[in-house]
Every structure is written in structure tokens, then in C-alpha cells.
Structure 1
């Protein structure tokens, strides 16, 4: 699955594939699945995008932003192998609206950790 999001007025591709977990391990020396589990993202997309500031602040207190940025990078790198290391990639954006991007990437995260039962 591949999606394109607009970040800082630039189209950015994100992709899930079988290589995501290995690429993540190679780059960050951490287990992708353990990091996903530690995020504890339990709020619905609607809650994350909510105009209710209290819900948004509750969500923001729970998330490890560095971890999320690493996950976002690995999906972007999977979609476009020419992107640079995570810090250089993030420096290419004036803003990186995590709260807007997270709901969009949740489907990729779910796809990566799910299985197809026959």
C-alpha cells in the first residue's frame, strides 16, 4: 500500500512493504513491532483530528514523537529509496505536522503488523 501526503506543501510518498521491519531495524537498531506496541496509539482517527484541544493534548502526552518520526521516515524511505537519513530528511521540511500525519499513517502501520488469513 502506498499513499501520498502533502507536508510543507510538498508531496511525500509513504509505503508499506515486507521490507519495512528490516529497514527499520537496520536504520535504528530497534525492533519495529516492539516500538509500534510501545506507542500505545489507542485513540481513534477522529479523536486525533478532533478540534477538542483537551483530546488532542491527551493524545500528545502519550506519544513518543521521536519514535513516530522514525516510523514515518521508514515508510517514506520504503516509498522512495533516494531520500536521505532521517535527520536530513526532516530538515527538508519547515514544518512536520505530526498530529495531521499520524491518522493517515495508521493504515500503513496496521497493514504492516497485520496478517492475511486464508
Structure 2
């Protein structure tokens, strides 16, 4: 499964396959699925309910977020789609803007495909 987004005027394709978790571990030295569990607390927060004027609420949101994790997951998915992309820092340096809060929700379904079971209930 793949999805192409426009980020900072550039077309970026994100893709997940069975190799994505292994690519993630080879690059970053962490288990993909274990790191995904770190995002569970964020799933309990409705970003639409976060009032930007409420400093305490925004600070709590940022405290729960591991930005490296977001960048690493996105790089792994982009690398799965396009083997020619450079190492993570070089790749991210290509973007003046990289709005995580806009990008990540659009690729969540790709991540969930790696977690779902085909077992019938």
C-alpha cells in the first residue's frame, strides 16, 4: 500500500511492505512495532480539541510526542517507496517545511496495514 503527498512542493511517496519494519530496525536500531506502541498515548488525544491558546494543553501534547520517532517512521516508509532517497538527515534537509502534524495523519492507514490481522472473527 502506498500514498503520495506533496510536502514543501515535492512529491513524496510513502509505502509499507513486510520489509518496512526490518528497514526501520536496520537504520535506527529499534524495533518498529515496539516504537509504534510509544504512540498509543497520542491516540487518546483528539488534536481538534487541543486549543493552541491553552499552553498547558499544548505542553502536554509535546511532552507525549517523540518527534524523532515520527521522522524515523516517515523516512522508513519513504525509503520503502523509493530506494534512492538519501540517509534521513540528508533527506529531511531537502525540505524547508515538513509539517508532521499534517503528514502523519495522512499515512496512519499505511502503518495500520502492517499491524492488522487477516484472521476472521
TM-score (norm 2): 0.85
Number of aligned residues: 116
Over 3 Å counting, the alpha-carbon distance change for 1:72 and 1:49 in structure 2 is: farther
What are the superposed Cα offsets for residues 20-54 of structure 1, whole Å, 9 maximum, x if unpaired? 0110111011100000001223147xx33567425
Structure ID, larger Rg: 2
In structure 1, what is the equivalent of residue 25 of structure 2? Answer: 25
What are the superposed Cα offsets for residues 63-115 of structure 1, whole Å, 9 maximum, x if unpaired? 10011100000000001010011000000000110000111121111111112
Shift of residue 117 of structure 1? Answer: 1.6
Over 3 Å counting, the alpha-carbon distance change for 1:19 and 1:60 in structure 2 is: same
Gaps of 5+ in 1: none
Distance 2:96 2:83 in 1: 22
Distance 1:65 1:48 in 2: 16
Distance 2:81 2:48 in 1: 25
C-alpha root-mean-square deviation of aligned residues, in Å? Answer: 2.0
Distance 1:85 1:7 in 2: 18
- Say whether residues 1:14 and 2:14 are aligned partners: yes
User: What SS does the corresponding residue of 1:4 show, helix, strand or coil?
Assistant: strand
